[in-house]
């Protein structure tokens, strides 16, 4: 059965008049009659009973129309929904930002300059399922099996006040600073767990003097000599060297994390999402190369 045959039958069954149905469909009457006959031959049943110029539905025809009507409606709705979805992708992209918020936000601003028809909806929700693209973080070396994800390695450094005794050192072991006060991100953020694990791996739990939920607040507290903090090397940007020094951590080894940029698998075939995914990845790699 062809979709066109089914549509022709539906109109004829609604009008119960071949000539009027043919006019509505903008086809010749013989073409409509032949289409209905082919459908009846394929089904092996009579859908209409002819009565001169008029037609009436057989009992089988009534059942067929009853079953067919919601199917045709769903097909019509599907076409509209697909067009609407494509329009949404052209206008609004939902980005769930769980890591590197400042860098990602600036990258999206630059992308919009190149694509002014695109709008962004930004969220930070670890339980989100309806995002188009998500930026998250995982411990260094985590296995990524998702083909829609790119992973970028990032070193985690120690940020200290520029007048700190550690600022003059070329590197530092976390054991050396186990008694220091730490300024840390909220316990609910993934990076916090990664950094806490760095400390526990060398035998101590950090003394958290302050918790905050943004790099900006953390930067201000370090500048005010309130403590030391972990600092992702490139995704948080380079702080003012007059106020904050970034020092490589030698122990534990490989104080790093992975930044993960993922397209939701439900939308993996969207060209615009692929383009944005690649753009974000290249921007992050470029920032890393500038270190």
Domain count, the chain: 2
Domain CATH number, residue 36: 1.10.10.10
Q: Residue 88 has what pLDDT?
A: 53
Last residue of a domain, one of 61, 84, 107: 84
Is the residue at 274 inside a domain? yes
pTM, full prediction: 0.68
Is the residue at 260 inside a domain? yes
Q: Residue 127 has what pLDDT?
A: 85
In this prediction, residues 255-268 reach a mean pLDDT of 93
| More confidently predicted of 40 and 86 | 40
In this prediction, residues 209-225 reach a mean pLDDT of 91
pLDDT band at residue 52 under the 50/70/90 scheme: low
| More confidently predicted of 289 and 79 | 289
Q: Residue 118 has what pLDDT?
A: 87
Same structural domain for residues 169 and 205?
yes
Q: Residue 155 has what pLDDT?
A: 97
Reading the block at residue 47, the tokens are 């859908």
Integer Cα distance of 257 and 184 in angstroms: 16
- For residue range 76-86, list pLDDT tens digits in order: 777 666 665 55
> Closest Cα partner for 7 from 58, 77, 73, 62?
73
Integer Cα distance of 129 and 264 in angstroms: 8
Q: What percent of the chain lies above the pLDDT cut of 70? A: 95
In this prediction, residues 229-242 reach a mean pLDDT of 92
Is the residue at 267 inside a domain? yes
Q: Residue 220 has what pLDDT?
A: 93
Q: Residue 271 has what pLDDT?
A: 81
> Closest Cα partner for 89 from 79, 78, 81?
81
Is residue 203 over pLDDT 70?
Answer: yes
Q: Residue 81 has what pLDDT?
A: 63
Q: Residue 148 has what pLDDT?
A: 92
Q: Residue 84 has what pLDDT?
A: 55
Q: What residues contact 137, with CB distance under 8 A and at least 6 apart?
A: 98, 99, 100, 190, 191, 194, 257, 258, 259, 260
Reading the block at residue 50, the tokens are 């002819």
- For residue range 163-202, list pLDDT tens digits in order: 999 998 889 999 999 999 999 988 888 899 999 999 999 9
**Residue 41: which domain range?**
3-84
Is residue 223 over pLDDT 80?
Answer: yes
DSSP category for residue 228: B
Q: Residue 115 has what pLDDT?
A: 87
Same structural domain for residues 71 and 118?
no
- Looking at every residue in the chain, the average pLDDT score rounds to 90
Is the residue at 216 inside a domain? yes
Q: Strand, coil or helix: what is 270?
A: coil
Strand partners, 149: 262
Same structural domain for residues 252 and 112?
yes
Q: Residue 272 has what pLDDT?
A: 85
Is residue 240 over pLDDT 90?
Answer: no
Is residue 283 over pLDDT 60?
Answer: yes
In this prediction, residues 1-24 reach a mean pLDDT of 89
Is the residue at 113 inside a domain? yes
Same structural domain for residues 45 and 178?
no
């Amino acid at each position: 059965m062809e979709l066109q045959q089914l549509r022709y039958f539906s109109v004829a069954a609604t009008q119960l008049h071949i000539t009027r149905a043919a006019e509505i469909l903008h086809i010749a009457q013989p073409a409509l009659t032949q289409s209905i006959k082919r459908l009846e031959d394929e089904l092996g049943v009579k859908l209409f009973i002819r009565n001169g110029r008029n037609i009436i539905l057989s009992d089988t025809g009534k059942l067929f129309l009853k079953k067919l009507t919601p199917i045709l409606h769903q097909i019509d709705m599907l076409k509209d929904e697909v067009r609407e979805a494509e329009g949404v992708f052209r206008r609004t992209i939902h980005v769930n930002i769980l890591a590197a918020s400042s860098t990602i936000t600036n990258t999206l601003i630059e992308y919009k300059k190149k694509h002014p028809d695109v709008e962004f909806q930004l969220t930070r929700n670890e339980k989100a399922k309806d995002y188009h693209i998500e930026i998250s973080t995982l411990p260094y070396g985590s296995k990524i099996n998702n083909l829609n994800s790119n992973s970028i390695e990032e070193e985690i450094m120690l940020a200290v006040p520029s007048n700190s005794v550690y600022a003059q050192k070329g590197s530092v072991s976390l054991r050396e600073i186990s008694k220091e006060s730490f300024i840390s991100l909220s316990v609910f953020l993934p990076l916090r767990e990664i950094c806490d694990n760095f400390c526990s791996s060398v035998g101590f739990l950090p003394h958290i003097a302050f918790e905050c939920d943004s790099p900006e607040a953390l930067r201000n507290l370090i500048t005010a000599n309130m403590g030391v903090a972990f600092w992702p090397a490139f995704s948080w940007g380079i702080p003012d060297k007059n106020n904050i020094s970034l020092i490589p951590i030698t122990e534990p080894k490989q104080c790093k994390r992975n930044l993960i940029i993922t397209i939701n698998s439900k939308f993996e075939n969207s060209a615009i999402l692929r383009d944005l995914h690649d753009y974000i990845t290249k921007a992050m790699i470029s920032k890393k190369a500038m270190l």
